[in-house]
Every structure is written in C-alpha cells, then in structure tokens.
Chain A
Amino acid sequence: MSNEETLYARYLSGDITDKELQHLKQSGDLAKIEALMKDTKDWTLPHVNSEKGMAELEEQLHSSSSSSKSIYKFTPWTIGVAAGALLLIGFFFFQAPSEITISNPVASVTDYPFPDGSKALINAASNLSFEPSNWSSGRLVKLDGEAYFEVEKGPTFVVRTEHGEITVLGTRFNVNARENTFEVTCFEGSVAVISKSQTIQLQAEESVRLVLGQLQQNNSVDTTRPSWLEGISKFNEADLEEVFDELRRQYDVTLDVSSEIKGRFSGIFVHNDLEKAILQLSKPLGLKYTMSPDKKKVTFSR
C-alpha cells in the first residue's frame, strides 16, 4: 500500500520501508524534515480552561431561548491550570447526581477525595464510580483498572471489580484489576479479598494475586505505598504482556511486539522518560527496539 504521495507522512509515523528511508536520506529531504520538526516542537496554543467553559455552557443552556444564528460572546478564558489529571463531576445539570464516575485518561494519576475523607489515587486508563448519596450508610466503589486507597474508619468499604471484591474497615491498600490481572496489596490495616469463591484475609505488607483462577498470597511487600504513585512501575515475575500494556498506558504509545517475545519480567520502568523506560525493559530482557521519529510507535524484537 506504500505510495509516493504519502511518503513524508509515513516517515514521521515510522511506517516506511528501508529502501524509502535510504532515498529520503540521500535526497537531503530527511535533514530538512527533521529540522522542521525540531523547530516546531515547542509550538503551543493558550490553554483551555474547560471548567470555566463548562460552567458558561451550563449558564447558556439554562438561559432563555436564543436564535441559533447568534454567536455567544464569552469572557476570554484565562490561561488556566497546568495540564494534569482530568476529573469528572456529574453536578452539571442536576442538583444531586445519583452516581459519580471518575475517569482517568492515559498517562496520569488522579487524586480523588470521597465524602468522608477517604481517598483514592487512580492510575492511568482506569475508571472508578460510586454513589455519594449512599456513602454514609455503606461505602461501595466500582473499579476498572488500578487505584490505591486510603480508607478512613467507618462503615464497610467495598471495592468491586470484574475479578472479585475487596472489603475493608479502615486501611491503606492497592487494587490492580485490569483485563488479565487481579492483584491486591495491603499496606496498613487489614482487607478481605473475595474472588472466584475464595476468600483471603490480608494484613499489612501482604498481597494476593490471581494466577490461573487461584488466589496466591505473597508476603514480601517492601514499600509503604505502591511504586506507581512515585512514578515507577514495578514488576515481580509479571507476565510480559502485562508489562507492555502498562507501558502503553503510561505513555499512550503504540507498541509492536514480535510474537516470539514471551515470558516474565522482574524489574521497573519510569513514567517520565520514554527512552529510559524502554531501556529499562529491553536491556534485562535482551530485546532490540526501534522508535518512530514522532516517538508514538516502538517496535520490539529479539
């Protein structure tokens, strides 16, 4: 499907043959394109203050009828908050929402306080929901992804995931419930983990993992908080697929992993430097890699 008319575009996305690359280099065009990319690398536009925008939108929608031809003049949005976590609160059009959903985009950590002072720190590409109206009688949270909880003493706090449930009273723990992973680590207090009709009680510095349908306990937790909160992903005999998935989530990058790459990984990678993270994986595993010029695609091979 390769084509002259899309050559430069495909160079940037790493979708180019070696022969085409050679021609590009020889013609001198590659150097010019690279210079262009370098000189436009820092281009930005003023930030959009979406909180303010949403508030103004709500006002407009509530105010009396207006003709669809008129343009609404809004006060200029000031350069707003630095880019960071997204937070969705469903107070938009109604007084008391029945359910609040917090959705975390790729590659960031969101901090969310519950009505009673309990907290959740939510990892990349995760969703969490709960009902605030019920909070004082029973605390139920639904989680798809990974989050670290600090729960104040109070009525039973339950985290429900697709693989199982975690019940606590007042404690600190981490839940990792991705598609092919279920791992719960207790840092303080005690939690009860129920999964596939097995129940395990965890004390501080204990963790449990679902492996082939069985809950397996691990008692060598050596930190006071999960490492992803400190900007590092740490793995202990984790399946490589899980490791690459986490890399995708933290950097929002496309990964091409050759099918012969299988096995387990023990080690870490950082969240703030893609090239460093790639080296932290490729060196111990003995993998080769190439990265597209726009840094959005990485290919791993043996």
Chain B
Amino acid sequence: MSSNICKKETFNKVYKEQVTPLRNFLYYRSGDLQLAEDLAQESFIKLWKNCASVAKDKVKSFLFTVGKNLFLNHVKHQNIVLKFEKIPRQDVEQTTPETLLESQQLQSTLEKAVSDLPEKQREVFLMHRIDQLKYREIAEHLGISVKAVEKRMHKALIILKEVYNNL
C-alpha cells in the first residue's frame, strides 16, 4: 500500500471523489462556474506535481487550500451572486401563475441571502446543503475543527432564517 498518491489509480480515485466538491467550493467563493472549473483543474495539476510530498490523509485539505489560494491570486474580492438549479417538483398544488411567481421570488431571495453571507459561513452552509457533506467531512476539507464548522453553520442559519420572518 503506497502512502502517497503518485500511483495513477490512487490519483484517479482522488480525482473522481474530489473534483465535484472542489469545483463547487470554488464556485461558492467566486460565483463563476467556468473559473471554478479551471481553478479546480489547476489544483489537481499541482497535486500531481507534488504527489510525493502530500500524505494521503492531507489530500483533501491540500486541494482546498491550493484552490483557495489560486482563487485569491486570480481575482479581487467582489460581491458575488450565486444561482442554484432546482430539480422540478411535481407538486400538483403549485401550478397557478401566482404560486409559481411566489416560488421564483422566494428562490431569488434565498439565493441573494446565501450569496450575501460572509464567505466562511456561506461555504459551510452550501457544502452541507448541496454537497451533502457531514460536519466531520467539511472540517477535514477546510482544515478546521468540527466545532468551528458547527459555529459557522449556526451563524449562517441565524441569518438565513430571517428570510422567513414575515412569511
């Protein structure tokens, strides 16, 4: 059993497992899907070039750290707007134009609320919600403690639940 990922099969496995969470994470940061894809690719190239010096259990945090740094080098911070597709639901009750408009408006409001979250809270919330990662896994990717993840998630929920104050 090799202790690093220079073996092609091991590297491929890592690629398949991590390319989507990494691309998504970079999207949550940049709001630019194409950029997120490019930066994710570049992160994997760096990983391959450094394969001998990255321990197997440090691979996830290596990828996320490299990706984060590449992004920071690339663009200035700006207000981002995130958009999420929704799998169409077969709710029979929701077919009137009024309810359709309402749900579209709610979607926009939520997307804006999420986009406006501070970066640290935003990425934890989305990694949990969209990538379906457990807090333990998010902690591993970001190189922080589980408790730190829970705190950020809690803060994100405090802000996001305000959307429902008047509904």
Interface residues of A (CB under 8 A from B): 1, 3, 5-10, 12-13, 29, 31-33, 35-36, 39-40, 42-46, 48, 50, 53-54, 56-57, 60-61, 68-69, 71-74, 76-77, 86, 88-90, 92-94, 97, 99-101, 103, 105, 254, 294, 296
Contact = CB atoms under 8 A, between A and B. Distances in A.
Given A57-B15, A74-B41, A43 B129 contact: yes
A5 B45 contact: no
A50 B41 contact: no
Contacts of A103: 13
B15 A71 contact: no
Interface string B130-145: 1000110000000000
Contact of A36 (B13, B46, B151, B161): B161
Interface of B: 8-9, 11-13, 15-17, 19-20, 23-24, 27, 33-34, 37-39, 41-42, 44-46, 48, 73-74, 84-87, 89, 106-107, 110, 128-130, 134-135, 147, 149-151, 153-154, 157-158, 160-161, 163-165, 167
Given A32-B161, A45-B27, A74 B33 contact: no
Contacts of A35: 164, 167
A57 B45 contact: yes
Contacts of B151: 5-6, 9
B41 A60 contact: yes
Given A40-B129, A48-B23, A71-B38, 17 more contacts: A6-B151, A8-B157, A12-B128, A36-B157, A39-B106, A42-B86, A42-B87, A43-B129, A44-B85, A44-B86, A48-B37, A54-B12, A72-B38, A89-B12, A90-B9, A92-B11, A296-B134
Contacts of B11: 92
A284 B39 CA distance: 52
- For the complex of A and B, the 3 pairs showing the least CB-CB separation, nearest first, are A6-B150, A9-B153, A9-B150
Contact of B44 (A13, A57, A69): A57
B35 to A, nearest CB: 8
B34 to A, nearest CB: 6
A193 B33 CA distance: 53
A101 B16 CA distance: 14
Contacts of B167: 35
B157 to A, nearest CB: 4
A32 B154 CA distance: 13
Contact of B9 (A60, A101, A294): A101
Contacts of A99: 9
B84 A43 contact: yes
A1 B146 CA distance: 12
A103 to B, nearest CB: 6
27 contacts: A1-B147, A5-B151, A5-B154, A9-B149, A9-B153, A12-B128, A13-B135, A31-B164, A36-B110, A36-B157, A36-B163, A39-B107, A40-B84, A44-B130, A45-B33, A45-B85, A45-B130, A48-B23, A53-B41, A54-B16, A69-B73, A71-B74, A90-B12, A94-B8, A100-B9, A254-B134, A294-B128
Nearest to B46: A68
Given A5-B154, A57-B15, A43 B161 contact: no
B94 to A, nearest CB: 12
In this complex, which of B11, B149, B163, B164 has the most chain A Cβ atoms within 10 angstroms of its Cβ? B164
A212 to B, nearest CB: 30
Contacts of A56: 41
A276 B16 CA distance: 31
A118 to B, nearest CB: 21
